[in-house]
A = this chain, B = another copy of it.
Amino acid sequence: MLAPEKALRSILENVPILPPEPTALSDCAGRILAEDIRAREDLPPFDNSAMDGFAVITEECRGASQRTPVRLKVKKTLRAGSLAETELRPGEAIRIMTGAPLPGGADAVVMKEATSCEEPATVRILQAPELGEHIRRHGEDVGAGDLILTKGTRIRPYEIALLAAQGILRVRVVRRARVALLATGDELLEPSRPLTPGKIRNSNGFALAAALSRWNISCVYAGIVPDDPVLMRKALEKSISEADVLLVSGGVSAGDFDYTKTLLEALGLRTVFWKVAIKPGKPLLFGLWRGKPVFGLPGNPVAAMVCLEEFVRPALEKMQGFSPAYPSYHLRGRLENDYPKDKLRQQYLFCEVSEGPKGFQVRLIRPQGSAMLGMACKANALALGPIGVGLLRRSTEISFRWLK
């Protein structure tokens, strides 16, 4: 059976990167920039004060101190948003607020706290300023024409701020993936329906959509399709035409009524792989249909969610321009209990991790199963039982990641 890291690699080799689209700045956060951006203007656009205080000529204030203050005539007050206009002349200071333009002639700002104003229209400078002190020079942060953001940058709030400050309100970013999701299985009822004998409620629609929405991906849930080739074909054709990625849960095992794979192949799916050496999630199917990635997820809800997080998420990240951050199991803890795992498969083990005096302690929940949602809800982490290991032994180390 295919090793999980090979499965992931072939997914990432096969999924396309979505095209860029011009996008309003308000919709760009968390997305990947698809073009280089050059500054249109200097930032700051003009010399201005970094403090509330007094614009001065440093030469005039030489030697100023608490004991030997320098007295200057306060000519006017410059507030932020006003024009500098006046020129500072020897013997003068101009009261200036943070962000106000520096008047001509001034070459430093003395902050308010280093002055005193006992007489009207006069300021006493109590500390000699350095040349250029508390002045923000135009273009000191960004110069017009500078390459400020490069293609491939993830747009964080700081990038949003920089673009807004430059008046750039529309940029090209990689399109968000649209995902279509359908569930198959004659045993399934929508969760709003009362349970009848032999049936279970389909939880995958709600749960997979919730996970996708937390990754800022919208998902069209196409509902439950019965195990009937004609109805399934219709639903599959509709879903693939509306989305960039198709997720089908259920019907991918080897049962007599598991039509998903055969039907998709009859419709033109190029299967890249079917079945991976993992537990839960073994029947995972991946292929391309009309150039679009298709995942056949297990119907069991715990297995479906594990496959979504481990295999579908990296695919969606790559499609949206990210360097996929694989679910990382770089945390390590010590097992509190034995667990007999499947030696031939990599096992994703639901566990309760707590912080002990010697680091993390990992208690594997027993029993666990691919349909046991109550079990999964008790876990705060997922541990990784490697291929080749049968019995996981108490007090040995294991890798895990938090379940968020």
Contact = CB atoms under 8 A, between A and B. Distances in A.
B404 A26 contact: no
A377 interface: yes
Nearest to A149: B377
Contacts of A195: 41, 45, 167
A64 interface: no
Interface stretch (A122-130, A265-273, A368-376, A383-391): A368-376
Interface in A299-336: 299, 301-302, 305
Number of copies: 2
A399 interface: no
Contacts of A211: 29, 157
A201 B164 contact: yes
Interface string A61-95: 00000000000000001011111100000000001
A84 B187 CA distance: 12
Given A81-B187, A164-B207, A158 B198 contact: no
Contacts of A186: 79-82
Nearest to A97: B255
Given A46-B198, A256-B52, A374 B227 contact: no
B141 A164 contact: no
A403 B26 contact: no
B206 A25 contact: yes
A260 interface: no
Contacts of A99: 185, 187, 200, 299
A253 interface: yes
Contact of A257 (B97, B169, B210, B371): B97
Contacts of A148: 374, 377
Given A200-B99, A214-B29, A254-B52, A161 B206 contact: yes
A377 B25 CA distance: 16
A157 B374 contact: no
A14 interface: no
Contact of A192 (B83, B136, B167, B227): B167
A340 interface: no
Chain A interface mostly: loop
Nearest to A83: B198
Question: Which of A81, A157, A165, A167 neighbours the largest number of chain B CB atoms within 10 Å of its CB?
Answer: A157
B169 A52 contact: no
Contacts of A199: 45, 81
Interface residues on A, range: 35 or more
Interface in A106-140: 112, 136, 140
A197 B187 CA distance: 70
A277 interface: no
A324 to B, nearest CB: 15
A203 B164 contact: yes
Nearest to A207: B161
Interface string A26-43: 101110000000010101
A142 interface: yes
Given A141-B374, A158-B376, A206 B164 contact: yes
A191 interface: yes
A101 B198 contact: yes
Contacts of A80: 185-187, 198, 227, 255, 257
B200 A369 contact: no
A321 to B, nearest CB: 16
Given A41-B195, A165-B201, 18 more contacts: A43-B374, A52-B254, A80-B185, A80-B198, A81-B185, A81-B188, A81-B199, A82-B186, A84-B198, A99-B185, A141-B371, A142-B373, A157-B305, A158-B207, A158-B373, A160-B206, A162-B203, A164-B202
